[in-house]
Structure 1
Amino acid sequence: MTERLDWAYESPVEERLIEQLVGLGFAYVPASELDKERESQREVILEDRLRAALQRLNPWLDENNLRKVLREVTHLEAASLMEANEQFHDKVVNYLSVQQDLGKGKKNQTVKIIDFDDPTSNEFVVTNQFRVNTPTGTIIPDIVVFVNGIPLAVIECKSPTITNPQAQAIKQLIRYWEQAERLFHYNLCVIATCNEQSQYATIGARSRHFGEWKDPYPLKIADVGESPTRQDVLVAGMFSKANLLDLLRNFVVYEPEGGRTIKKLARYQQFRATNKAIDRILSAKTPRERGGVVWATQGSGKSITMVYLSVKLRRIEQLENPTIIVVTDRTDLDTQISKTFLRCGFPNPQQAKTVKELRELLQAGSGRTIMTTIQKFEEYVDESGSRVLNEAHNIYALVDESHRTNYGGLAANMRAALPNACFLAFTGTPIDKEDKSTVATFGPYIDKYTIQQAVDDGATVPIFYQGRLTDMHVQGESLDKLFDRMFQEYSEDDRERIKKRYATEEAITGAPQRIRKICMDIIDHYETHIAPNGFKAQIVAINREAAVLYKEILDELNGPESVIIFSGGNDDEDRMKKYHLSKEQQKLYIERFKKPLKEDKLAFLICVDMLLTGFDAPILQAMYLDKPLKEHNLLQAIARTNRTYDGKSYGLIIDYYGVSGFLKQALSIFTDTDVQGALKPIDSELPRLQTRHRSAMRFFDYIRKDDIEACMKVLEPEDVRNEFDVAFKKFAESMDMVMPNPAAIPYREDLKFLGKVRQYAKQRFRDPEMDISDCGEKVKQLIKEHLIAQKIEILHDPVDILSSKFKKKLDEAQSDEAKASEMEHAIKHEIRVKLQENPVYYTSLRERLEQILANYKQRRIDDKEKAEQLQKLIDELRNRSKTIEDEGFEPHEYPFYQLIKQEMWSEYENNDDIKELTRTLLAEIDNLFVIEWTQKEDVKREMRSRLKKKLRISRCDREKVEWLPGEIVKLAEVHFRK
């Protein structure tokens, strides 16, 4: 790689990563060489290399079909980036089909774009500084990875010595896919790296979705090299040829979520568990040895792992079109996992509704994917006395929550019905006891993903606990004391008589006086700590009578809206029957509960046994626990609070029973490392609060708190501002968790000060991310009250650069430096907001601004001259309407004229001709505008077609005819929405 020495020392992170890829068998080709292969820098596919790969992998392909396949890959007709990405993924993974006669008549033939069976038959290329031109400018990703000429990965490298390198790399990647969509039509993943840190994500992700790849499976960490960095591990784990193609083929799903499509790429533990399971299946010496246990912590993506495994099982030829059975132990879980498979696009999963239907599906031949509950495996004996439903060896049963119901008669029925099947257990809480052992039942562990690992990876949030009203706890020796207090108004003889007959834990726990006191505490705690941030809660009662009492007292005290979810009995008294709900009613309440609090005020689910396992509601933050739970039941229950949700940094268990008092005993069936971090006392946040306070305040150690301009000077560099913002958010997160506990009082004034600085910075630097709106509600309210008291304007949007308010703001500036800073960031904001409306003009404006800033940085101009030159740009912005009018256009038409003028000036060189062409093209698409046309691909396709016809008979260059209509339609989407 000697040809790269000229830049090697400037970018050591880039250098290290490329050298590692070359070591994995990639060919390094400088971008300057690839540019010679491209017709222009707008092209993102290396078409000659793709053509060569298609001919190599499909030597029978004739020239006509070769052109057809090339066009299908290079010209994706899609309404959005995500739709194009999904289209390409389907073409490359499920192969294209063309009609061609190979000697036996014209038939559909399968075309491989990438050979997944033999990775070495593909071409793997890595390049750096690969320029891609767009209407809004040029992007230059640090590294692009190509397979057969197709750009599968984009990597942004930052020096670990700069401030907050990962945040900057991620921000840049997001800008890339927003500006240069075509490069990302084919993208598998993006990587942000600074060597010491390295994270990956898919298109559409935000910062919080980027994650590490921590395991280079099938390699060990030691195999990667001496003291490998996180970047080294990620590259080894994701970019070996076999792993990269495996990820592309088997570990990508597109899942509809909240009205949009989310692309999901496996996390490292999902990839590892799936492939370990496959390895065990293929290498087992006996059918029995194929099975085993996958321990995946609750909330860490267990269902999607089952999808990935099913996808891969279905593709392995030697398994001969296997039957896959997904087994749960509850109807709601069965429905939930069936929906997961369907949402992820898994082909034709069939949900067995009855015992009879399950038997029919199992006897109907191989190749089916069957979803069922274990209860449907009722004892079966045929006419000959056999209990076997299907004795095939290629049946794979994926058993969810395997710790609960796989040790008794139902499990025996299942295994008798499928004597040669492979049973793979998926659980968040395996049991390891002599009479009930998950491992003994299913086989040795295949893979483990522990609680602490999931928290460290951000797959789940940590869970804290707090014992409240400890004098109310029903635990051990406290039972007698609690009884005496609950029945103190009775005589001693009566108390003894009651105690002998009724003093059980359930009776004491359900005592009305006790529950009333707890209800008052729950309302106070919820309204003070949980509701302000928009989260919801569960109340877990010891029995159904206590659950009803909780509901009645909460309603009597005008507490937040609640509902009881429990199983009703026919013999229940009227008081209980009042709260009976049908299954459909329960579903409706649960759906209401999952909605944001501002949309639906249902705040509490009161339950006994239901909803403690398998229930998934990310908005649930707090569990008010008044019931003894042990072993796996405890882990299952508390894990309801560990799902990630916007703004949620932890789950919380409020313990009224005393469970936390025997936590160690309850978790003793697990090894220490497996349950490390399962529950943390809430007081453990205080040392972290102190550390985070210091990290946020250190930026202003030598500055007076009343000198706001000095604070702005500190935050002027974007990297420092990013670092401060991260520190502030972490400090605010800890404060929001601790407040209103008195332990937070020493930090309140500093929080107000930092909130004020952040508000000023948001307004000065027009930084949309520097806003208190992303803080917890308690923190937000404290800062707002402080800003109002100091008469500081709280603006949701920055002052418009063209308004009279902006001029007033400049007049208030205390120095030329402050004035120039205000103007600079106002112009940057205007460019950022308006760039899509007129890419040509605002790109030009950005270049002129950058020149002024470069002159200032090089001390060619001072603060006053900088302000004067910036004022000229602002004056130009203010006079734009007059300029547009003079040219004879409406404001919404002018951007099209500037785009066409920029691209076709060399062909026309006559302004009037360009104006006429602009009006002709606009008229061509004007009649196609209908309601919601931007969502209708057929309308946009027709627009592009008509524009191409007009451009072909103009003087437009042939290459531009191919891409210019797409840019015009994109511009129309901005200006002509209906």
Structure 2
Amino acid sequence: MMKHGPATHFEPIAVSSESTVVAEYVAEPSSAAGYQSEADLERELIATLESQAYERLHVTSEADLITNLRLQLEALNQITFSDDEWQRFFTEQVSSANAGIVDKTVSIQEDHVKLLRRNDGSTKNVRLIDKEHIHNNTLQVLNQYETGTGEGGGNHATRYDVTVLVNGLPLVHVELKRRGVDIREAFNQINRYQRVSFWAGSGLFEYVQLFVISNGTLTKYYSNTTRRQHVAESSGSRRTRKTSNSFEFTSWWADANNRPIQDLTAFAKTFFARHTLLNILTRYCVLTTDRLLLVMRPYQIVATERILGKIQIATNYKKLGTLDAGGYVWHTTGSGKTLTSFKAAQLATRMPGVEKVLFVVDRKDLDYQTMREYDRFQKGAANSNTSTAVLKRQLEDPSARIIITTIQKLATFIAANKGHEIYTGHVVIIFDECHRSQFGDMHTAITRAFKRYHLFGFTGTPIFAANSGTGGNPQLRTTEQAFGEKLHTYTVVDAITDKNVLPFRIDYVNTVQVGQVVDKQVSAIDTERALLAPERISKIVAYTLEHFDQKTKRSQAYTLGAKRVRGFNAIFATASIEAARRYYNQFHLQQQDLPSDQQLKIGLIYSYAANEALDDSVLDEEGFDTYGLDASARDFLEDAIQDYNDLFGTSFDTSAQRFENYYKDLSMRLKNRDIDLVIVVNMFLTGFDATTLNTLFVDKNLRAHGLIQAYSRTNRILNSVKTYGNIVSFRDLEQQTNDAIALFGNRDARGIVLLKPYADYHAEYSEKVTELLDRFPLHQQLIGEGEEKAFIGLFGAILRLTNILTAFDDFAGDQLLTERQSQDYRSRYLDLHAQYRANAVAEREGINDDVVFEIELVKQVEINVDYILMLVEQYRQQRGDGDDKELRATITRAVDASPSLRSKKDLIEEFVDSVSSHGDLDSEWQAYIHRRREEELQTIIDDERLKPAETREYVRHALVDGTLQTSGTSITRILPPASRFAPDGGHHAARKARVLARLGSFLERFLGLS
């Protein structure tokens, strides 16, 4: 039974305004000695939380959990529910049978004030959480809460480690593993909870907003979206687009100097400090319009709070309109500046006296991207504009609090509206990517026109004296001179160390000796013309086509005869419009002889830039101006866009609006991997983010901030397969690369920012493959759990090394496992994965919690249905001639080595046995799968007495989406009608769990087969 009295409240002596992120954390010397069990870790964590004014809660059933929730909400809202009122409120506003993870996240993030209908007919607002006075909220800690399989329980009995309740709702869950265990297994265990129990009963654990995983030594946190999306993506649906959510998106906590706080006790003292945790939950989470919950990282929170602090201090000390009222944030490219700026802008609009927040960008394409990102965070938050007339209306509209505009539009407005009243308003101006282009006359016009402003700049590559170059306003040569003091720094070294962005791997490809044409007596323009020699361009294109699949990590299934499986995609950066045109023609010419399914889908984009041959450190802004192009360049662009139209069924051209729409469509197809390669001059090299892009081919001079900006298009994290950004340079940029890394990292940054040489990885790979062949020969069985785990760890290491080595040209022909050996070892690896996964689902405690499988990497060499059908075609042609037995064994071996096909093995083998001697194989396959799918679904419908039409529609959506909808009306609609409060309510919940389990197996079995 639950042990509780009246809710305990800790009255703060004073409400603190201290920073959410500790300025500097000095770890205390560890007093722990010897072995520390998971139970010891749990006790230590709970003791730390209790010392920080968390109330210890002891409950053993959902009824107790609900009773405690009632007490906490009564205390928070200073009301007393009657039993009827509570039942009504809990059923309609809290548990709601139709609500799932998304709905409950909305209840915390956006709709935390609920309406209570009282017995006397009146209504009252009831807060689930107090966001204005965060210390009014109650924090409790609960451990070893157990769910069963009866009376509304889940598919399997589960016991949760540690849960933090805010006002009685479980909002943070902590999963622990003993020291030495990979914390990814804690991540995996939370995924299992989502499948089998979080939704059970009243679904209160679907309120969890944040997860914390730890093995004592290492501790990370992440939002419920990361967990939910990862589970949805693991289904393997060919129709499901991968998004950027997996274990790679878990985050370290850190102090304001970016030093990670990884030890569990240190993490608990900082992250779980009352004001810190409540600030994160109430201020530093963002629920996007896509209903994805983003939790900010510590450096983003620090930067946001320093901007807000600067606004407050400058206002109090009457510093408005000076450099002292603002500053700049140096956060490396790819670290999430848009989220930081959005949150800073959003919170700034809530500060007393602030009338407007202007978010200023320097290019139309970045304007589009940033506006789109802002709009994704909060619909309508960004009132983007298309003209200075619209900008004028927005500046005069009190309800338009956040406005996105370009520096050019703002400068035009200023020139046309002398003495406008907005200039005397209290305005926060935030510049995204505050490069040198903003240091000239337009910058001066803005700072002269506005009188009561704060000026803030975000940049991943600041301008220092060392890279200031020439041009612009001579009085504004550096970022600090233009925007004020640096408020926070998070460099590329910090981001790579934290695994928030990827390191780079660079190939310097000398297909032609360029040095012959580089003569210091020859002008840069003449040199560029010489570099356009047809022979050189032809060889570069040949290299790119030959190595494209390797660099972009297309599935090796392609080399086995299957159709191409999409990996990543690439940008090809050229030095001029003329170069872009020549490369576009040459690519089309040289891939004409390739089969159509092996030809790359290639796009081209450029527009007029005033200074095409600018300083190498600057990527000049290409807007959407095609009218400035000469007739030949514009005609060529028209033809290239028509090629694009023919490929995708679109209707774009070079007229102003249609060209802008072409840019938007092309950028989306890059992100969706619908296009393989885009040839550019400067477009897409700054401000463009696509996690699916991993390779940049470079045939242009780059240095300093321009180089880092261009390279950084490739290093966004996505999953365990994408481990680095790939740069293929056809010019010798090694010194420029080293200089840029030193400038924007530090002198020792090269070893962090760039991958090690090929020989280092291959030596380790060779050592491990030798150990594999000697210790685990294929003809010997693995004996005992110790051998199994040793094999899993060793083969996983080989998979990780192979994933890196495959992008090196030297690895071709240097593999040490034959294709057949690789398949057989993958098959053994997957056998163990199935065995250990079954154990993990059935576990009461952490059995096998020290085993982590690299399934995403196995899928890199996935065998797909197209390849199997090709083998079946060969098999039926050779059936009876003596070679068919080996071919049949090849089919079985291929299926066993495939993570997605193993569960479909009996279907494939039955089809092979029944296939006709003649006829269309694909039609026979589709008819066979359709028949078997209908038969098996009908069996489930009959056994569980499901509603036939609703069930078929539910399954149809699941097959399209690649995942089952486990909560909300979708699942309840297919079940026989029953009330959770009826006597058979427990049986109803058990049936729901059983149906989900059976439909989950059905989905896994038939997904991707048609």
TM normalised by structure 1 equals 0.73
Tell me: CA distance 1:448–1:470, structure 2 relative to 1, closer, same or farther (3 Å).
Answer: farther
Show the counterpart of 1:266: 296
Tell me: CA distance 1:471–1:805, structure 2 relative to 1, closer, same or farther (3 Å).
Answer: closer
Show the counterpart of 1:294: 329
Q: How does 1:173-252 map to 2 (within 5 A)?
A: 173-180=190-197, 181=199, 182-203=203-224, 204-206=228-230, 208-209=246-247, 213-217=251-255, 229-252=262-285
Show the counterpart of 1:729: 799
Match of 2:49 among 11, 21, 25: 21
Q: Distance in 2 between matches of 1:502 and 1:296?
A: 33
Tell me: CA distance 1:655–1:334, structure 2 relative to 1, closer, same or farther (3 Å).
Answer: same
Tell me: CA distance 1:679–1:732, structure 2 relative to 1, closer, same or farther (3 Å).
Answer: same
Q: Which has the larger radius of gyration?
A: 1
Q: Describe the SS at the equivalent of 2:781.
A: helix
2:641 aligned with 1:593 = no
Tell me: CA distance 1:236–1:391, structure 2 relative to 1, closer, same or farther (3 Å).
Answer: farther
2:469 aligned with 1:429 = no
2:732 aligned with 1:658 = yes
Q: Distance in 2 between matches of 1:128 and 1:948?
A: 30
Q: Describe the SS at the equivalent of 2:359.
A: strand
Q: How does 1:756-795 map to 2 (within 5 A)?
A: 756-763=824-831, 766=834, 774-775=857-858, 793-795=893-895
User: Could you tell me whether the CA contact under 8 Å between 1:450 and 1:675 is conserved in 2?
Assistant: no
1:589-619 C-alpha deviation (Å, 9 max, x unpaired): 33333333xxx4x422111122211122333
Show the counterpart of 2:683: 610
2:1009 aligned with 1:948 = no
Report deviation, 1:84: 3.4
1:259-293 C-alpha deviation (Å, 9 max, x unpaired): xx533222232223222322333344433434221
Show the counterpart of 1:280: 310
Q: Describe the SS at the equivalent of 1:295.
A: strand
Match of 1:96 among 99, 114, 119: 114
User: Could you tell me whether the CA contact under 8 Å between 2:369 and 2:687 is conserved in 1?
Assistant: no
Q: Describe the SS at the equivalent of 2:817.
A: helix
Match of 1:709 among 752, 766, 781: 781
Matched letter for residue 190 of structure 1: F
Show the counterpart of 1:374: 407
Report deviation, 1:461: 1.8
User: Could you tell me whether the CA contact under 8 Å between 2:332 and 2:460 is conserved in 1?
Assistant: yes
Show the counterpart of 1:156: 175
TM normalised by structure 2 equals 0.70
Tell me: CA distance 1:778–1:654, structure 2 relative to 1, closer, same or farther (3 Å).
Answer: farther
Show the counterpart of 1:78: 98
Q: Describe the SS at the equivalent of 2:405.
A: strand
Identity %: 20
Matched letter for residue 774 of structure 1: L
Matched letter for residue 603 of structure 1: D
1:627-681 C-alpha deviation (Å, 9 max, x unpaired): 112221111111111122343222222222222243344556546269656853x
User: Could you tell me whether the CA contact under 8 Å between 1:197 and 1:231 is conserved in 2?
Assistant: yes
1:738-773 C-alpha deviation (Å, 9 max, x unpaired): 35546x72x523897465323123236536896887
Matched letter for residue 85 of structure 1: T
Match of 1:398 among 426, 430, 433: 430
Show the counterpart of 2:23: none
User: Could you tell me whether the CA contact under 8 Å between 1:388 and 1:419 is conserved in 2?
Assistant: no
Q: Distance in 2 between matches of 1:70 and 1:773?
A: 41
Tell me: CA distance 1:453–1:804, structure 2 relative to 1, closer, same or farther (3 Å).
Answer: closer
Match of 2:541 among 494, 512, 519: 519
Tell me: CA distance 1:941–1:436, structure 2 relative to 1, closer, same or farther (3 Å).
Answer: same
Q: Describe the SS at the equivalent of 2:591.
A: coil
Tell me: CA distance 1:658–1:764, structure 2 relative to 1, closer, same or farther (3 Å).
Answer: closer
Tell me: CA distance 1:618–1:242, structure 2 relative to 1, closer, same or farther (3 Å).
Answer: same
Q: How does 1:895-906 map to 2 (within 5 A)?
A: 896=944
Aligned length: 804
Q: Describe the SS at the equivalent of 2:333.
A: coil
Report deviation, 1:701: 5.1
Q: Distance in 2 between matches of 1:804 and 1:330?
A: 54
1:441-486 C-alpha deviation (Å, 9 max, x unpaired): 2222222221122223332221121211175335xx86149xxxxx
Gaps of 5+ in 2: 4-34, 231-244, 469-475, 556-566, 593-599, 608-625, 639-652, 838-851, 872-885, 911-932, 958-964
Tell me: CA distance 1:625–1:385, structure 2 relative to 1, closer, same or farther (3 Å).
Answer: closer
Report deviation, 1:699: 6.0
Q: Describe the SS at the equivalent of 1:564.
A: strand
Q: Describe the SS at the equivalent of 1:628.
A: coil
Report deviation, 1:160: 1.5
Q: Distance in 2 between matches of 1:100 and 1:59?
A: 15
Q: How does 1:672-821 map to 2 (within 5 A)?
A: 672=746, 676=750, 680=754, 684-694=757-767, 698=771, 702-703=775-776, 705-710=777-782, 713=784, 717=788, 719-720=789-790, 722-738=792-808, 740-741=810-811, 745=814, 747-749=815-817, 753=821, 756-763=824-831, 766=834, 774-775=857-858, 793-795=893-895, 796=898, 797-798=901-902
Matched letter for residue 550 of structure 1: Y
Matched letter for residue 623 of structure 1: L
Q: Distance in 2 between matches of 1:890 and 1:544?
A: 61
Tell me: CA distance 1:452–1:135, structure 2 relative to 1, closer, same or farther (3 Å).
Answer: same
Tell me: CA distance 1:15–1:662, structure 2 relative to 1, closer, same or farther (3 Å).
Answer: same
Match of 1:536 among 551, 566, 569: 569
Match of 1:619 among 692, 697, 709: 692
Moved more, 240-249 or 566-575: 566-575
Show the counterpart of 1:579: 637
Show the counterpart of 2:59: 34
Matched letter for residue 648 of structure 1: K
Show the counterpart of 2:623: none
Tell me: CA distance 1:963–1:280, structure 2 relative to 1, closer, same or farther (3 Å).
Answer: farther
2:634 aligned with 1:562 = no
Matched letter for residue 15 of structure 1: R
Q: Distance in 2 between matches of 1:57 and 1:771?
A: 46
User: Could you tell me whether the CA contact under 8 Å between 2:326 and 2:456 is conserved in 1?
Assistant: yes
1:350-394 C-alpha deviation (Å, 9 max, x unpaired): 11221121122112236612121111113456999526634222x
Matched letter for residue 101 of structure 2: L
Q: Distance in 2 between matches of 1:330 and 1:800?
A: 51
Root mean square deviation, CA, Å? 4.4
1:297-347 C-alpha deviation (Å, 9 max, x unpaired): 2122221222222343344xx424642222211222222222222222355
Report deviation, 1:565: 0.7
User: Could you tell me whether the CA contact under 8 Å between 1:156 and 1:173 is conserved in 2?
Assistant: yes
Show the counterpart of 2:77: 58
Q: Distance in 2 between matches of 1:501 and 1:117?
A: 64
Q: Distance in 2 between matches of 1:544 and 1:383?
A: 34
Show the counterpart of 2:241: none
Report deviation, 1:407: 0.7
Tell me: CA distance 1:945–1:413, structure 2 relative to 1, closer, same or farther (3 Å).
Answer: farther
User: Could you tell me whether the CA contact under 8 Å between 1:689 and 1:734 is conserved in 2?
Assistant: no
Matched letter for residue 51 of structure 2: G
User: Could you tell me whether the CA contact under 8 Å between 2:108 and 2:129 is conserved in 1?
Assistant: no
Flag the structure with higher helix content.
1
Gaps of 5+ in 1: 36-40, 223-227, 482-498, 807-836, 838-880, 882-888, 897-918
